[in-house]
Amino acid sequence: MTDQPEFDYPKVYLYRRIVQAKLFIDRHYADKIDLDNISDEAYFSKFHFIRLFKTVYGKTPHQYLKATRIERAKQLLREGGAVSDACFAVGFDSLSSFSGLFKREVGQSASAYAAQHQRTKAQIAKTPLAFVPGCYAYQHGWLDENRNFEETDQ
């Protein structure tokens, strides 16, 4: 006979329910979802769910949702999207709250992030070989020991 109550679930069952909730966040990050929606998806009380989710993913569900939204916004900005479009496309209601969170999480403003990536794209288009690691280029015969890409005629 065990010391555990009969209603304890196997860990794999609990883990699957937490993963189900994470996948729900991944699919619906741009929607108006909150902790109630997410914990309902896993069939847990909110407080039990937060504890289990943080144990598995190292973040609370809210932290994970914010991080997912910021990552998707970064992708949209890299693709040339406007900051306001990225903000609303990933589920934020306020441009100011998005901008503040983006700067805290990424270390630069969303507009600076977008501008940096546009400059990098332009540089790659102008001198693509400058962005290939020298060891890779040398291995593939694109340069010899005495030359580098900056010295090649393009």
**How do the domains of the chain map onto residue ranges?**
11-125
User: 11-125 — its CATH code?
Assistant: 1.10.10.60
- What pLDDT digit, counting tens, does each position of 22-36 carry? 999 999 999 999 898
Put simply, whether the predicted model's pTM sits higher than 0.85 gets the answer: no
The token pair that represents 147 in the structure block = 């030359």
Q: pLDDT digits over 106-140, tens only? A: 999 999 999 999 998 888 888 877 788 878 877 88
Does residue 113 contact residue 103 with C-beta atoms inside 8 Å?
no
Q: Residue ranges of the alpha helices (H) in the chain?
A: 11-28, 35-42, 46-57, 61-78, 83-89, 95-106, 110-126, 134-139
Report yes or no: 36 and 71 within 8 Å, Cβ to Cβ.
no
